[in-house]
Amino acid sequence: MRESYEQFKKRNVEIFIVTPHDEEYLMKYKDTLSSYPFPFYGDSTLTLYDNLGHQSLSKWKLFIHSVSSLFKGNFTLPSNAQDKKAVKEAIKKSDVEVQGGAWLFDSNNEVVWHHIDKSPNDHADISTLIEKANSL
């Protein structure tokens, strides 16, 4: 997403990330997160996730998915040591079962499009997000 940030910015689309972390975690990794051109917010109680209809995978399904991704070569950790440390801590301490998503709101804060991930690899495609942003 950060690689495509300028494409969204020129369309006057604001991006922000909501994570299932608490403020303490976000502050601890502020330097790592500051490499992103958009803000991060924590929802450690999962209130927003729940209200928007996001799901959590069972630990068993997540384990199967992780092992499968590992064997397929789809699971990699960041090469940067600090980013790698942040990812490992998130895996240990956070609700990694929570599936994310992408939401587009118009200037009246009405939802115009959304995608809720069904698995860790089921993300909205950047080109789809840009296409939808063009219609705002």
Return the pLDDT at 69.
Answer: 58
pTM of this structure: 0.66
> Is residue 57 predicted with pLDDT exceeding 70?
no
> Is residue 51 predicted with pLDDT exceeding 60?
yes
* Cβ-proximal residues to 119 (8 Å cutoff; 6+ apart), any chain: 57, 65, 99
Exposure of 77 by Cβ count < 10 A (0-12 exposed, 13-18 middle, 19+ buried)?
exposed
pLDDT band at 128 (very low <50, low <70, confident <90, very high): very high
With a pLDDT cut of 90, the percent of the chain lying above it is: 6
pLDDT band at 85 (very low <50, low <70, confident <90, very high): confident
